[in-house]
Structure 1
Amino acid sequence: MNKTKKEIIFTVVLNIVLPYLVYQLLIPYTSGITALSAAALIPLCDSLYTLIRTRRMDAFSGFIFLSIVLGIIAVAIGGDERFILLRESYITGVMGLLFLVSLLFSRPLIYYFAERFMGSESNMNDKWLSSMGVRRTMRLMTFVWGISLLFEACVKVMLVYAISIPTFLIISPIVTYGLIGLTIWWNVYYVKQIRKKSAIA
């Protein structure tokens, strides 16, 4: 296994798998806020370690940490049944907005995700600086993900107030996984097409 693949696996395990496992292990024995807070410590520690090691904040770990913090806030707010059902979608909507807002800055969120997942050998900074195509691709992917996440949140908000709660519980995961799956498929397809065009050129 090469270094890049090891870095990707390490990133996913540390920032997604371990927080999920910590939350699942603690939730039967403690409150939702406590379990989420403990889970948030893992990506936070990873961000702090990266900051100390490279003197630069790791956007991916920070993004995961922020999503967990938003989850803690949502749990703390409470609310009626329908609000509780929409907690994840409110977080998804905020994440979508962050993707879109990042387009106003010098480098969009997808750039930092690609940098983290492609590893230190990818030379993302050089590619970004030297290729207008890379910059255009990163910005388009950031825009699509932002719109997709916002759309998912809006659809679920409309559904939860339009149909019964039992029906919503059936339809909600279909909407979420369907839209996210479609966006992932588009992302993979788009990257493959870009690589084909580069190879031909």
Structure 2
Amino acid sequence: MSSSISSRRPGILSVALTLFLNGVLPLLLYVWLRKGHSEFVALLIASALPLVESALYYARFRKLDAFGLLMLAGMVLSMLLALMGGETKLLLLRGSAVTAVIGAAFLCSLCFPRPLMVPLARRFTSTHKHEDFDALWSIPYARRVYKIMTAVWGVILIGEAAVRTLLAWELSTTWFLAVSDIVFYSFIAAAALWTLYYRRIAAKKLALIRLGGSLS
């Protein structure tokens, strides 16, 4: 089935490349720069990578890159919090604040005609299928699918932020640093696995709709 919900290989390659350019590479650059620069300078330079990738995407497609903008917003928020400084506990909560803001952005986007998951899904869809993606959006069930995925990701991200915030106040700094990444990646993995499972179910129902079947 040729749709953004069921397309896999182009989507996987696009996701992998985007995650590397917007997530892995900036993180590696930040870690390397922290050896000889302040945290603010390291974040400032690392945040330029998502901005460059977003600019290239805009130059090619004349559209803003939602994923790159999210990553950039996270970096900018981290810079602002780094400038604020504060107690150790507050510094430990910086990652949770970024996650909570992104989760809130997902939920707030439900108030708009197209929730945040729509431009993200389109970003990871091969270019020659963009017209098919637009046709897919005309189907009420497809719109509901994207709204549900947007809501679930928003709730999971805010839930992750809440759990890490609680741990930051209850655990020592050493223990928090030991379990913080485990908590974060566990929540993200759970969201990703749920998305794959839900997409598979949604793709089957969508195929029936496109073939003229009925959906209870």
TM-score over 0.5 for the pair: yes
Aligned residue in 1 for 2:64: 57
Q: Percent identity?
A: 36
Shift of residue 4, structure 1, vs aligned partner: 5.4
Which of 124, 136, 140 matches 1:127?
A: 136
The answer as to 2:69 corresponding to 1:67 is no
| Residue-by-residue CA offset, 1:163-184 (whole Å, 9 max, x unaligned) | 3333333343332222222111
For residues 132 and 194 of structure 1, the distance between their equivalents in structure 2, rounded to whole angstroms, comes to: 12
Higher helix share: 1
Please, which of 90, 96, 105 is the counterpart of residue 98 of structure 1? Answer: 105
Partner residue of 1:118 out of 119, 125, 140: 125
Contact 2:11–2:126 under 8 Å retained in 1: yes
Name the counterpart of 2:148.
Answer: 140
The separation in 2 between residues aligned to 1:125 and 1:50, in whole angstroms, is: 19
Match of 1:188 among 190, 193, 196: 196
1:175 alignment partner AA: V
- Whole-Å separation in 1 of the counterparts to 2:17 and 2:201: 28
| Distance in 1 separating the partners of 2:13 and 2:190 | 27
Q: Alpha carbons of 1:186 and 1:9: their partners in 2 closer, same or farther (altered >3 Å)?
A: closer
Pairs aligned (count): 199
Structure 1: distance between partners of 2:186 and 2:180: 10
Residue range with higher mean Cα deviation, 165-174 or 95-104: 165-174
| Structure 2, gaps ≥5 residues long | 1-8
Alignment of 1:157-196 (within 5 A): 157-196=165-204
**Bigger Cα displacement from structure 2, 49-58 vs 177-186:** 49-58
Are 2:66 and 1:48 equivalent residues in the alignment? Answer: no
| Contact 2:115 2:150 (C-alpha < 8 Å) held by counterparts | yes
After superposition, the CA RMSD in angstroms is: 2.0
User: TM-score scaled to structure 2, two decimals?
Assistant: 0.83
